[in-house]
Amino acid sequence: MTLRTLESLGDLAGKRVFVRCDFNVPLSDGVITDDGRIRAALPTLKALLEAGAKVVTSSHLGRPKGEPEAAYSLAPVAARLGELLGSPVAFATDTVGSSAQETVAALENGQVAVLENLRFNAGETSKDVAERRAFAEQLAQFADVMVSDGFGVVHRKQASVYDLAQILPSAAGTLVAHEVSVLERLLEAPEAPYTVVLGGSKVSDKLGVIDSLLPRVNKILIGGGMAYTFLAAQGYAIGKSLVETDQIDTAKGYLAQAAERGVELIVPVDSLMAESFSADAGFENAPSENLEGTSFGASALGLDIGPATAEAFAEAIRSSKTVFWNGPMGVFEFPNFAGGTKAVAEALTQTDGLTVVGGGDSAAAARTLGFADDQFGHVSTGGGASLEFLEGKKLPGLEVLGWA
């Protein structure tokens, strides 16, 4: 079966369309600091508005506990969406209550409304199927059809993602359809040389994706905190750097499997070792064979890949035809330890081939360091969902749309 897309819904003029978006944007004192996920929703929303639909959209934001929390209101999202669309966007101050009912009833063809944070209702994320279904039924009263366009949640069996798509005629929006198309290429038809760049703090977070991609790739580059587990697996002293001692044998297994398959699994040859975990900590570069050879000794803490590693990683990326990147190379939030992540991001922009940034911290890091989304082949809007897709897992929010 193939993914149902917007075309399968037919003529939408005058119809009420519920669009499940991913507006889970970062906020600072109520101000959106990165509107990338709102911008990503625009193609689908514009297509529906141009078709003459009445568009009702909503999302989760943060992790409220099934009841309203002002800090997680979608009000700033509705305001920003109106700015980006260049037309007013109505905002309902609840999910399925009187405000939502009145707001939806007042919609004209070609207009859009945003309902309040779906997770303000406990039914959205409930493990109780009946409770979840009941909330989905309430949402269904606002629409004739449903469009799923929040890729960041398709790995979750939630009311607005899974149950609602069973109740109403449903299809994937352009964002979800494009995400699936790109990620499928990484699994089924990658052009060689194919390089995967993995970072972030924990090896345990990446086990599934390494298992899935190692047989498919030519090179795997390991950075971030997870690199020190691999270095420890090679017998290096790593000071007080982050390490998952229970994953050292796993890392040894990956090193052996890569060698057996002829895959280059490249770990850092040097690191920026700091005296403490802080933005202004003193730091020195050290080779992997002697990470404790700095003035900080055994208390040294690895916070970024070193310059030689950054250049080696960049060269491996630039010489590839397919690159998937997930996870920063260091503590990019601290300027002194952002160099490795910046080198990786810059190399992706210089690559003649398909480059995919795997959402989450990787996308945030790239934007923080001054890169625009259109400098990459594709920036995923779903970190966890992207990884689970590449791991080969069944994603309920896609299966309910016909994907198998």
For residue 271, the domain's CATH number is 3.40.50.1260
| Contact yes or no for 171/4 (Cβ under 8 A) | yes
- Ligand-binding site membership of 178 (annotated): no
- Spot the catalytic one: 202, 252, 318, 321: 202
What pLDDT score was predicted for residue 209? 94
- Ligand-binding site membership of 261 (annotated): no
- Ligand-binding site membership of 39 (annotated): no
Percentage of residues in the chain with pLDDT exceeding 90? 94
120, 239: one domain = no
- Ligand-binding site membership of 24 (annotated): yes
Radius of gyration of the chain (CA): 23
Q: How would you classify residue 364: left for phi > 0, otherwise alpha for psi between -120 and 50, otherwise beta?
A: alpha
Residue 37 a catalytic site member: yes
Asked if residue 189 has pLDDT above 90, the reply is: no
| Contact yes or no for 226/330 (Cβ under 8 A) | no
Cβ atoms within 10 Å, residue 376 = 22
Residue 384 a catalytic site member: yes
- Ligand-binding site membership of 333 (annotated): yes
| Contact yes or no for 18/161 (Cβ under 8 A) | no
| Contact yes or no for 341/369 (Cβ under 8 A) | yes
What pLDDT score was predicted for residue 359? 72
H-helix or E-strand spanning residue 130: helix 129-140
What pLDDT score was predicted for residue 100? 98
Total domains in the fold of the chain: 2
Half-sphere exposure of 198 (CA within 13 A, CB side): 26
| Contact yes or no for 214/257 (Cβ under 8 A) | yes
How high is the mean pLDDT of the chain? 96
Domain stops at, among 126, 147, 174: 174
Asked if residue 17 has pLDDT above 70, the reply is: yes
Domain stops at, among 141, 174, 207: 174
- Ligand-binding site membership of 156 (annotated): yes
Q: Average pLDDT of 18-41?
A: 93
Residue 66 a catalytic site member: no
Packing angle of the helix pair 36-50, 75-85 (nearest 10 deg): 60
Let me know if residue 379 belongs to a domain: yes
Q: Is 94 helix (H, G, I), strand (E, B) or coil?
A: coil
- Ligand-binding site membership of 63 (annotated): yes
Residue 360 a catalytic site member: yes
Helices (H), 274-374: 307-318, 339-349, 360-368
H-helix or E-strand spanning residue 326: strand 322-326
Domain of residue 170: give its range.
6-174
What contacts 210, CB < 8 A, 6 or more positions away? 198, 220, 254
165, 29: one domain = yes
Query: Distance of alpha carbon 386 from its chain centroid, rounded?
Result: 6
| Contact yes or no for 204/38 (Cβ under 8 A) | no
How does strand 270-274 pair with strand 301-305?
antiparallel
Which token pair is 26? 């970062």
- Spot the catalytic one: 152, 360, 383, 397: 360
- Spot the catalytic one: 37, 132, 133, 219: 37
Asked if residue 230 has pLDDT above 90, the reply is: yes
- Among the listed ranges 10-24, 273-287, 377-391, which one has the minimum average pLDDT value? 377-391
213, 336: one domain = yes
- Ligand-binding site membership of 359 (annotated): yes
Asked if residue 297 has pLDDT above 80, the reply is: yes
Dist. CA 167–CA 163, nearest whole Å: 7
52, 78: one domain = yes
Asked if residue 337 has pLDDT above 70, the reply is: yes
Let me know if residue 402 belongs to a domain: no
Dist. CA 183–CA 172, nearest whole Å: 15
What pLDDT score was predicted for residue 382? 84
**Confidence band, pLDDT 50/70/90 cuts, at residue 1:** low
203, 261: one domain = yes
pTM: 0.91
